[in-house]
Structure formats: structure tokens, C-alpha cells
A and B are shown apart, each in its own frame.
Chain A
């Protein structure tokens, strides 16, 4: 069964450093998403991406964040200058259409020290 994959599974970085989180969505899916979940808290929407542009973004997704689909398979989330409060689990998701279920990847645990 096709699945969303994410790398790395765990990333440790120092405050102020740039990080890039990588995702490979399911191959025939057209919509891509990033979510985050701070430990013990709820899943929060960050951004949705369709047709090579951002469809929607939340208040969390400020100018420190960016997304890119550099080729036909990868979907990346970049945080330019990490803060301690960026420590969280970051989930990538993809769906076949806007009104279809979203399939989540296993997540990347980001720890900012």
C-alpha cells in the first residue's frame, strides 16, 4: 500500500539554525500539507500546497517558514532560523483531492536546543 514517507525521523538543531524537513507524498496525490504537534498538544495546521503554490497557511506559518516542491516527488518544509518553541513533531500529509482523506507520514521529531 502506498504511503507518505518523511526524513529524517529525528532532527536536533541549535537555535537560529536552518532546518529542512523532507517528505515524499503518495505518488498520484495532488494536495500536500504540513502539520505540527507540540508534545502533549493538538495537531495544528501549518500550510497546504497545490499546483505548485500555497493554497492556505495558518498564523503559525510566518516568514520563517517556507515550502517547496523541488521535483516531482519531494515536498519540503524549511524553517530559516529555528526557535526553541519550534520543537515539535512535524507531519506531512497528502490527498488525492481537496475533499478526500489526508494520509499522514510518520513525522519528523524536531528538537531545538
Chain B
């Protein structure tokens, strides 16, 4: 079966740093996506990791360890607009489909 785990909710303070973890056990793996989803809106692409290591893109960084089935999304200099759900999703090999985790609802307090 396919299993993707991430915390249900997290809270952080404006200006701080937060790390959202994701672990996965899937039959096949091509890469791992992180998406941001505001309530009532579509997911928007943040990052895609295929190889192990850290990829940085502005205030957002994403890390992948394929051997450990683990990824995290790091958000720096948090802003109130970062309050959203963050979706970890695995792109399965030999199948052009993405399996999503349930998402982590991040709340930013002033």
C-alpha cells in the first residue's frame, strides 16, 4: 500500500522558522513534491525533489532522503500569508500519478 505521514497541524510565530516533516512508504518512487494550499483554493507548487539533499528556493527549502523515506519543508522568515496547508506528495515510478499526504495545517501567530 501507499502511506504518507505528516503532522496534522503546526503553529509558528511570524518571523520564525518552521520545519514540516513527511515520511513515506510507497511502492515505487520517482520524486517528492511539496504543495501549498490555502483554504478553498488549488494546490500551488513549491518544490520537487528527486535526488537526496537540500534544495533552496528563497524562503523555502526542501530536503529529501530516499533511503530513509523522509522529507522536510523548511520555511524561513515566516509571514502571516504562509498560513496554509502544506501537502507532501510522492510521484510514483512506472505510473504517472501523485499520491498526496493529508497535509499539515500551519497557523502563523503574530
Residues of A bordering B, CB below 8 Å:
31, 33, 41-45, 48, 50, 55-56, 58, 91, 98-107
Select one of B45, B91, B103 contacting A42, CB under 8 A. Answer: B103
Residue pair A55, B96 in contact (C-beta under 8 Å)? yes
Q: What number of residue pairs across chains A and B have CB atoms under 8 A from each other?
A: 55
Q: A45-B99, A55-B96, A58-B97 are in contact. Are A102 and B45 (CB under 8 A)?
A: yes
Residues of B within 8 A of A56 (CB): 95-97
Residue pair A43, B96 in contact (C-beta under 8 Å)? no
- Decide if B48 is an interface residue (CB 8 Å cutoff): yes
Chain A proximity mask over B97-110: 1 for CB below 8 Å, otherwise 0 = 11111110000000
Residues of A within 8 A of B43 (CB): 43, 91, 104
Residues of B within 8 A of A41 (CB): 102
With A and B bound together, what is the CA distance between A23 and B31 in angstroms? 26
Residue pair B100, A43 in contact (C-beta under 8 Å)? yes
5 extra A-B contacts, CB within 8 A, seeds A100-B48, A104-B44: A42-B100, A43-B43, A43-B89, A55-B95, A99-B30
Residue pair B30, A91 in contact (C-beta under 8 Å)? no
With A and B bound together, what is the CA distance between A41 and B41 in angstroms? 13
**How far in angstroms is the closest Cβ of chain A from B11?**
19
Residue pair A42, B101 in contact (C-beta under 8 Å)? yes
Residues of B within 8 A of A107 (CB): 41-42
Select one of A45, A50, A103, A105 contacting B98, CB under 8 A. Answer: A45
Residue pair A31, B96 in contact (C-beta under 8 Å)? yes
With A and B bound together, what is the CA distance between A91 and B35 in angstroms? 14
